[in-house]
């Protein structure tokens, strides 16, 4: 059974005076629940987890799980460059009540394809809840090859989906072909949701849905309902804003956008700094009617 169909928002982690801003976190979660989000991802890349302490990660996860109260699935990030640490995060997240895990490939170490298989086997064996593999070679330096994705799916019963953010449509097509019936396919790139849906994808784990959850939900919902033309129209509509939301490294621009909607402060943890292209972000938000 799929974890979700539609859009899962990769939540930003709001900050205030270099601390997690839990009041704004509550505002963000309520905004998502009231505006079409089909699932929430906590402590993914967009949530700046590598600069959060262990205690902060746990507190953010607990808060979101309590606020959501089973209305939609909550997927917790559980990834590192160390398999033992990843297992520790995974088991902790399962105990916290996560509905599923998002587990990025080990970064920096640049393991082999065999290493990827063994890594996901070890994590899979440590928990019972579903796992989404996260392939984002631009950040990690490691790519999950299509045949590796198949091997992992065949050997890890609770690895049931992949978030594909390689940007390589040919590769994603091959992953879809090889793993059909074994893995659910989610887009990890907001600008190519429609092409991935056409390959059999069932949703997107989205950055821009922090501020446009309904639009991102509607791209998927219309496609799955058979209205491909409407889905395409919406994809074209959001793509200029997607460009703005990635004009600097994520989550810098999307946090700027959320602040312009008064959802949180425009504050990040070093080494990330506030967006230097705020006017570009603002202009694209005005075009979408998000702000005046």
pLDDT digit string, tens, across residues 130-172: 999 999 999 999 999 999 999 999 999 999 999 999 999 999 9
pLDDT band at residue 81 under the 50/70/90 scheme: very high
- Kindly state the tokens that stand for 193: 């949701």
Which active-site residues does the annotation give? 134, 163
Q: Is 277 helix (H, G, I), strand (E, B) or coil?
A: coil
pLDDT at 9: 98
Residue 100 pLDDT exceeds 90 = yes
Percent of the chain with pLDDT over 70: 100
pLDDT at 272: 97
Residue 234 pLDDT exceeds 90 = yes
Distance between CA atoms of 180 and 191, rounded to whole angstroms? 23
The mean of the pLDDT values for the chain is: 97
The pTM of the whole model exceeds 0.75:
yes
Pair 123, 103: CB distance under 8 Å: yes
Other residues' Cβ atoms within 10 Å of the Cβ of residue 138: 9
Burial tier of 43 (Cβ tally within 10 Å: 0-12, 13-18, 19+): buried
Q: What is the DSSP letter of 247?
A: S
Class of domain 6-225: alpha beta
Percent of the chain with pLDDT over 90: 100
Burial tier of 53 (Cβ tally within 10 Å: 0-12, 13-18, 19+): exposed
Residue 1 pLDDT exceeds 90 = no
Other residues' Cβ atoms within 10 Å of the Cβ of residue 44: 29
Averaged pLDDT, 33-60? 97
């Amino acid at each position: 059974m799929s974890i979700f169909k539609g859009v899962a928002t990769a939540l930003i982690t709001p900050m205030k005076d270099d601390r997690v801003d839990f009041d704004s976190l509550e505002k963000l979660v309520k905004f998502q629940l009231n505006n079409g989000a089909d699932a929430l991802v906590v402590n993914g890349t967009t949530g700046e987890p590598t600069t959060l302490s262990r205690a902060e990660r746990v507190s953010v996860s607990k808060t979101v799980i309590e606020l959501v109260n089973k209305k939609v699935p909550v997927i917790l990030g559980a990834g590192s460059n160390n398999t033992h640490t990843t297992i520790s995060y995974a088991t902790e997240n399962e105990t916290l009540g996560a509905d599923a895990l998002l587990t990025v490939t080990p970064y920096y170490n640049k393991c082999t394809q065999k290493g990827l298989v063994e890594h996901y086997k070890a994590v899979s064996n440590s928990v019972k809840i579903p796992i989404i593999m996260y392939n984002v070679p631009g950040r990690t330096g490691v790519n999950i090859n299509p045949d590796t994705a198949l091997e992992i799916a065949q050997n890890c019963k609770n690895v049931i989906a992949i978030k594909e953010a390689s940007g390589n449509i040919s590769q994603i097509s091959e992953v879809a072909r090889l793993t059909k019936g074994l893995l659910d396919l989610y887009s990890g790139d907001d600008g190519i949701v429609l092409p991935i849906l056409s390959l059999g994808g069932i949703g997107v784990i989205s950055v821009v849905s922090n501020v446009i959850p309904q639009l991102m939900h509607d791209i998927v919902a219309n496609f799955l309902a058979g209205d491909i033309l409407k889905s395409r129209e919406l994809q074209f509509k959001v793509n200029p804003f997607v460009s703005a939301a990635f004009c600097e490294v994520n989550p810098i621009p999307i946090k700027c956008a959320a602040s312009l909607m008064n959802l949180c402060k425009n504050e990040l943890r070093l080494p990330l700094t506030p967006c230097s292209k705020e006017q570009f972000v603002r202009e694209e938000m005005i075009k979408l009617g998000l702000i005046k």
